[in-house]
A and B are shown apart, each in its own frame.
Chain A
Amino acid sequence: MTLVDVHCWIGGYPWRHVPHPEPAILRRVIEREGIGEAWVGHLPSAWWRDPVHGNTALAEALTAHAPVLRAVPTVRPDWPRFADQVDAALRAGAPAVRAYPMQLGLGADHPALLELGHRCAAAGLVLILTTRFEDARQRHPIDGAPDLTAAHVRALARGTAAHVVVAAPSRVLVEEVHWGCTPAERERLWWDISWLWGPPEDELAHLIRTVGAERLVFGTGWPLRLTQVPRANLDLLPPDLSGVGLAAASEIERRARGAATR
């Protein structure tokens, strides 16, 4: 089975220099790490008002690297002609779209959040949310957006039929959502493992035992974070969990497509 990184970007970061966030470097890195495919967002778009320009730049930058690097456009649900953004992603063959409600100041009960979920569900596109880009303790003084909250994810899971991947969650976030949803609701949620800790606290192992490996998916957070972390975490699982398989990105994509309502 091809290992897929569902949580990476290209492009610069507004709060610090990031070395070489170019697609050619990402391609080289994932090949080195034995990752066969990556779902790639456009990092600057998380802070841009209108994501359309970033999506165009992303598509152009990844053309030479298809199908290994697959573009994941950014959508902004409170922006004019939002539906066009989703349609464009679908036409382009994207596996998913990314949205950043915290950077947009959208609360968990904002109508645009539900509209986001409804549109993604209708189109059969996976929705990727990002819990955080950096540790809260090291953020730039004017980087004031808080981490994604459990309430945002629960609102999407309860109020829409969207298939959602949450990138860079903590164990606390995973558990607060998972155990706060019905079994049917949490069947449409997946959690990237890039920010879950291994031994000695063994949060990843704990979540595999409680939430289930089928709810967890591989991601790295490149270019912000070392790609070696999730693999190291899997390598250090306790012996009884050694070799456990996470959810396959292709299966998440297939399920979202299969549940499309239009």
Chain B
Amino acid sequence: MTTPLAGTAPLIDVHAHFGRSFDTDRRRLEAGDRIGISCHVASILGTWGTASPTYFASPDDVTGGNTSMYHIADHDPGRIRAYIHVNPNYPAHALAELERGIARGGIGVKLAAARRCDDPLLDPVCEFAAAHHLPVLHHLWQHRTRHWPGQDISDAADLARLAARHPTVSFIAAHISGGGDWQHSLPAAAGAPNVCFDLSGSGCDRGMLDDGLQWLGPRRLLWAADVTLCTGLAKLRALDVIGLPPGDLADIRWRNAVRIFPPGAFAATAAIAREGA
């Protein structure tokens, strides 16, 4: 077996997706193995726009997408874990999905962009997350100065306000490289200690990783790939070039995830770490 491109140390992708097609799921896992991803923490956003919009998924589509995600995770629980995706516009359905998701092994909450993220409708979802020690991964657009089609507006400043209302919940600001003004996002959420950023997204601007480390430090950055594993691998290689101490790199690769997700969520990954120690 060839050595993974990103080395043999544990690596958790905290922002993954499945369910777009059989081929993309297969390729995600193949490429993940090639990179050395120990665990994909993933969601399926409804029907990916087929029956209702991706970021405004209907309750039926939310349920269907989650069910499919749980089946995928069941198939390989050491390597794939599930987020529980909910649409906060339907509070009763969202809470029911969270209860069902916990029972089906979900380890985090995924919120897309169906409601601006500092809206009070998100509070019951976050209260549930607090009660069950679930992190909340929220889709963001970096520094949105206006509405764009297809998504409700949310940026890091909005997420920092939500995080201040729920100080015991760990929030993951999605894809710092996912489009928008990342230079705004980092200082906007730097003062919110319970907000971390994931490094996923197709963007790969020089300076982004350095600024992320400067504003947040290595314990508030989580490696992830979202839908572009190539940029994810490139960022791992760029982190190597930066020359971080091994402990900082391990934090970003996997230890921060272990800290903010429920205890035992990454037992298989922790075993890899023990073997390598």
Query: Taking beta carbons and an 8 Å cutoff, which residues of A are in contact with B?
Result: 16-19, 32, 134-135, 137-138, 141, 197-202, 204, 222-226, 228-229, 231-233, 235-236, 238
Q: Which residue in chain A gives the minimum CB-CB distance to B229?
A: A199
| Residue from A16, A32, A226 in contact with B235 in the complex, judged by beta carbons closer than 8 Å | A226
Beyond known contacts A137-B148, A200-B25, A228-B233: 13 more, CB 8 A cutoff: A18-B206, A134-B205, A137-B179, A137-B180, A138-B142, A198-B229, A200-B27, A200-B28, A228-B238, A231-B234, A232-B230, A235-B5, A235-B233
> Beyond A138-B181, A226-B238, A229-B204, is A200–B227 a contact (Cβ under 8 Å)?
yes
Q: Which one of A17, A138, A225, A238 contacts B27 once the chains associate, using CB atoms below 8 Å?
A: A238
Say if the beta carbon of B70 comes within 8 Å of chain A.
no
Q: How far is the CB of B62 from chain A (nearest CB, A)?
A: 22
Judge whether A19 and B210 touch: CB under 8 Å.
Answer: yes
Contact of B145 among A141, A197, A226, A232 (CB under 8 A): A141
Question: Residues 156-184 of chain B: 1 if any A CB is under 8 Å from the residue's CB, otherwise 0?
Answer: 00000000000000000000000111110
Which residue of B is nearest A234, CB measured? B230
Question: Which chain A positions have C-beta within 8 A of B188?
Answer: none
The answer to whether B31 touches A135 (Cβ under 8 A) is no
- Expressed in whole angstroms, the Cα–Cα distance for A222 and B238 within the complex equals 13
Sorted nearest first, the 3 A-B pairs with minimum C-beta distance are: A198-B230, A137-B179, A199-B31
Residues of B contacting A19 with CB < 8 Å?
Answer: 206-207, 210
The interface bits of chain B over 207-250 (1 if a CB of A lies within 8 angstroms of the residue's CB, else 0) are 10010000000000000000111110111011001000000000
Q: How far in angstroms is the closest Cβ of chain B from A171? A: 12
Query: Nearest-CB distance from B269 to chain A (Å)?
Result: 21
- Indicate whether B60 reaches chain A with its CB closer than 8 angstroms: no
Instruction: Find chain A residues with CB under 8 A from B207 CB.
Output: 16-19
Residues of B close to A32: CB separation below 8 A: 241
Q: Which of A141, A223, A225, A235 contacts B204 (CB 8 A)?
A: A225
Complex Cα distance, B27 from A223, in Å, reads 30
When the two chains form their complex, are residues B234 and A226 in contact, meaning their CB atoms are under 8 A apart? yes
CB-CB < 8 A to B227: which residues of A? 197, 200-201
Interface set of B (CB-CB < 8 Å, partner A) = 5, 20, 23-25, 27-28, 30-31, 34-35, 141-142, 145, 148, 179-183, 202-207, 210, 227-231, 233-235, 237-238, 241
Contacts of A231 in B (CB 8 A): 234, 237
Query: What CA separation (Å) do A202 and B23 show in the bound complex?
Result: 10
A195 to chain B, nearest CB (A): 9
What distance in Å separates the Cβ of A129 from its nearest Cβ neighbour in chain B?
21
Q: A199's contact among B181, B204, B230, B241, by CB below 8 Å, is which?
A: B230
Whether A233 pairs with B210 at a CB distance below 8 angstroms is no
Do B206 and A236 touch (CB < 8 A)? no
11 contacts between A and B (CB under 8 A): A16-B183, A16-B207, A137-B180, A138-B182, A197-B228, A198-B229, A200-B28, A225-B205, A226-B205, A232-B237, A235-B233
Contact A135 B237 (CB under 8 A): no
Taken together as a complex, chains A and B put the C-alpha atoms of A232 and B233 apart, in Å, by 6
What's the nearest-Cβ distance from chain A to residue B5, in Å? 6
Asked whether, in the complex, the Cβ of B230 is within 8 Å of the Cβ of A236, the reply is yes
Among A17, A235, A236, the most chain B Cβ lie within 10 Å of the Cβ of A236
**Per a CB cutoff under 8 Å, which of B35, B181, B202 touches A197?**
B202
Q: Which of A134, A138, A223, A229 has a CB less than 8 Å from the CB of B230?
A: A229
A137 and B141: CB pair below 8 A? yes
Residues in A neighbouring B24, C-beta threshold 8 A = 200-201
Chain B residue contacts of A16, Cβ below 8 A: 183, 207
**Contacts A138-B182, A228-B234; A199 near B205 (Cβ below 8 A):** no
Closest Cβ of chain B: how far from A153's Cβ, in Å?
22
Contact of A226 among B35, B180, B206 (CB under 8 A): B206
The smallest C-beta distance from A237 to any residue of chain B, in angstroms, reads 9
Kindly state the separation between the CA atoms of A238 and B179 in the bound complex, as whole angstroms.
Answer: 27
